[in-house]
Amino acid sequence: MTRASMLSLALFVALLALWEGFVRLTGISPLVIPAPSAVLIVLWEGLTVGFLWPHVWVTAVETLLGFALGCAIGFVAGVLLGEVDFLRRLLWPYVLASQVVPKLALGPIFIVWFGFGMTSTIVITALICFFPLLENTLTGLQSVPPEKRDLFRMLGASRRQTLLRLKIPSGLPVIMAGVRVAIVLALVGAVVGEFIGGDAGLGASIIAAQGMMDSTLMFALFIVITALGMLFYQLTILFERWLLSSWMKGKET
């Protein structure tokens, strides 16, 4: 363990101790700020007794399905707009406008269309993941150095070959940066989507805990959501490393 990571762990412990001490000394209501020890007890019960797990499952499924759907559509749309100039000029203003609309504001109409529950949340999540993938795919495909395009022309490569063997692999690091943004946004999308129209999941549980004035449970849920987000992010990083493994070779400098 490096010195810096040891210090950062020490800081974390110190902050927790400070928080615990503050709550105990002032006797502040747990409705406002619960003690860390109380939060951990609720978290532990939730995980061992098991009432948290179905909600974790629902949110995880919503996040991943929405993420996969949004990334897939965003990537395909990015390739289409990147390859067909006419489409890009035709559709770009609409794509941009659709992204300026706050997606969560569309939540209520999605509930009308898709009903309460997972479908609405997945659609919102997908919509949020769509744009970073679209934009990064477009940027990635267009960032190929002109000399490499000329090289593929000299070699008599077809348009499809130039796309599959030059543009997409060449843009992959930029595209994967979009995927990393998308996975973080996906969890936010799923949780907030549940605020609006969920009947299960971690976001819906936060609303339920608020209804019961149970702030301790809310804090426990924050921890679960954070852990889930970090897990997803780390998995994305691992996937990226695997995908870009040959890209990375010789990039020690």
Positions in the binding site for another protein (CB under 8 A): 145, 147-148, 150-157, 161, 165-166, 169-170, 172, 244, 246-247, 249-251
Nearest to another protein of 184, 244 (CB atom)? 244
Residues 232 and 62: their CA atoms lie apart, in Å, by 13
**Based on C-alpha coordinates, what's the Rg of the chain?**
23
Residues 192 and 15: their CA atoms lie apart, in Å, by 28
Q: What's the min distance (Å) between Cβ of 242 and another protein?
A: 13
Q: What's the min distance (Å) between Cβ of 248 and another protein?
A: 9
Q: CA neighbours within 13 Å on the CB side: how many for 227?
A: 10
Nearest to another protein of 3, 249 (CB atom)? 249
12: which 2 tokens?
Answer: 């974390």
Q: What's the min distance (Å) between Cβ of 158 and another protein?
A: 8
Nearest to another protein of 157, 223 (CB atom)? 157
Are the CB atoms for 74 and 133 separated by under 8 Å? yes
Label residues 86-118 b or e (16+ Cβ within 10 Å = b): eeeeeeeeebeeebeeebbebbeebbeebeebb
Nearest to another protein of 48, 246 (CB atom)? 246
Nearest to another protein of 24, 153 (CB atom)? 153
Q: What's the min distance (Å) between Cβ of 67 and another protein?
A: 25
Q: What's the min distance (Å) between Cβ of 163 and another protein?
A: 13
Q: CA neighbours within 13 Å on the CB side: how many for 26?
A: 13
Nearest to another protein of 169, 229 (CB atom)? 169
Note the maximum CA span of the chain: 77
Are the CB atoms for 144 and 168 separated by under 8 Å? no
Q: What's the min distance (Å) between Cβ of 240 and another protein?
A: 13
28: which 2 tokens?
Answer: 């502040």
